[in-house]
């Protein structure tokens, strides 16, 4: 596992603007493959079989992860990051959480229990070498540093998934919509330029007053509407608060319901939007497709 500090790439210059003009023949083979297979079935899968033919993380796209504060979006994104290291390479810029805490949670998710063994930690180190990177900066980061981080990770380490947690820590003025629009536009440009997938956490606004079980959507993302407009995909993580309340009151009526939902509210290059219900395994902090007392090791 290698930690990345700002000093390693702060001086790394962003690419100068350039033209990308190509003859149409350069696109024909890829276009034919899209028509034969369907673009919605290209890209990296999520950890859950039920979503494999519905949603993918495609190259050249930006995904927004949203939900209320404390909804678990960073945790679910971390589970996806762990899964993606088997298929690709990941950099997590965890500006809202110390790098060691991020890794500790992923160790727990990978091991399937609260306290990973020493043997598993050694195995984790081997399996994630040059595949999983942590930008350990728990503070506001300038937009310039974010873009330099992306350049460095994509060019120097061939990272394919960059996860930024969160928008509010990226030096973007939350009161000026154009600042958020320009930041999103830059992320989309970087994703397409390097043919990578960029994940960005963006919190949801507080629910409308008086609506206890209100489910947020892409229009509830805090800040400019352009955040969702420019994103290729919008994922909402929404825990089942009613089920949680019923459990606390020893009610059993809702026990068969999901513990939460992975909601694909937008998928520009896919054919499916909808809700995917998951169950939550407390010991591993892992979302599962069906109830289980114990999950397998990663």
Determine the structural domain holding residue 278 and report its residue range.
2-6+39-288
Asked whether residue 222 is domain-assigned, the answer is yes
Rg (CA), the chain: 19
Mean pLDDT of 40-44: 85
Separation of alpha carbons 4 and 135, rounded Å: 5
Residue among 241, 224, 277, 210 nearest 69 (CA): 241
Mean pLDDT of 128-134: 97
pLDDT at 177 over 80: no
Separation of alpha carbons 69 and 202, rounded Å: 10
Asked whether residue 19 is domain-assigned, the answer is no
Separation of alpha carbons 17 and 92, rounded Å: 26
Asked whether residue 131 is domain-assigned, the answer is yes
Separation of alpha carbons 169 and 137, rounded Å: 10
Residue with more model confidence, 250 or 160: 160
Q: Residue 254: its pLDDT value, please? A: 56
Asked whether residue 232 is domain-assigned, the answer is yes
Asked whether residue 15 is domain-assigned, the answer is no
Asked whether residue 177 is domain-assigned, the answer is yes
| Start-to-end C-alpha separation, the chain | 17
pLDDT at 204 over 70: yes
CA angle 14-234-279, nearest 5°?
125
pLDDT at 36 over 90: no
Asked whether residue 14 is domain-assigned, the answer is no
Give the H/E segment covering residue 260.
strand 260-267
Helix (H, G, I), strand (E, B) or coil at 215: coil
Residue among 154, 139, 131, 158 nearest 94 (CA): 139
Task: Quote the pTM value.
Answer: 0.90
pLDDT at 264 over 90: yes
User: Would you say 46 and 55 are in contact if contact means Cβ atoms under 8 Å apart?
Assistant: yes
Asked whether residue 32 is domain-assigned, the answer is no
CATH, residue 256: 3.40.50.300
Burial category of 296 from C-beta neighbours within 10 Å (exposed 0-12, middle 13-18, buried 19 and up): exposed
Q: How many domains does the chain have?
A: 1
Give the H/E segment covering residue 277.
strand 274-281
């Amino acid at each position: 596992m290698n930690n990345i500090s700002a000093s390693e790439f702060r001086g790394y210059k962003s690419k100068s603007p350039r033209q990308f003009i190509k003859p149409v023949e350069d696109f024909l083979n890829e276009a034919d493959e899209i028509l034969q297979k369907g673009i919605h079935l290209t890209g990296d899968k999520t950890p859950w079989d039920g979503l494999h033919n519905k949603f993918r993380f495609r190259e050249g796209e930006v995904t927004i992860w949203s939900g209320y504060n404390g909804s678990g979006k960073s945790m679910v994104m971390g589970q996806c990051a762990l899964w993606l290291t088997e298929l690709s390479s990941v950099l997590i810029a965890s500006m809202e959480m110390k790098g060691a805490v991020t890794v500790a949670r992923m160790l727990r998710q990978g091991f399937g229990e609260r306290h990973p063994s020493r043997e598993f930690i050694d195995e984790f180190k081997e399996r994630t070498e040059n595949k999983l990177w942590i930008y350990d900066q728990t503070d506001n980061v300038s937009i310039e540093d974010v873009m330099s981080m992306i350049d460095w990770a994509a060019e120097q380490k061939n990272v394919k998934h960059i996860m930024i947690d969160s928008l509010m820590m990226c030096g973007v003025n939350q009161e000026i919509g154009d600042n958020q629009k320009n930041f999103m536009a830059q992320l989309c440009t970087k994703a397409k330029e390097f043919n990578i997938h960029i994940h960005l956490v963006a919190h949801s606004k507080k629910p409308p007053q008086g609506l206890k079980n209100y489910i947020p959507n892409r229009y509830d993302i805090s800040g400019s509407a352009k955040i969702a407009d420019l994103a290729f995909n919008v994922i909402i993580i929404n825990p089942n608060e009613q089920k949680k309340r019923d459990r606390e009151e020893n009610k059993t009526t809702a026990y068969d319901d999901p513990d939460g939902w992975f909601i694909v509210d937008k998928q520009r290059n896919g054919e499916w939007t909808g809700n995917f219900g998951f169950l939550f395994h407390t010991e591993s902090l892992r979302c599962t497709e069906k109830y289980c007392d114990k999950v397998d090791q990663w």
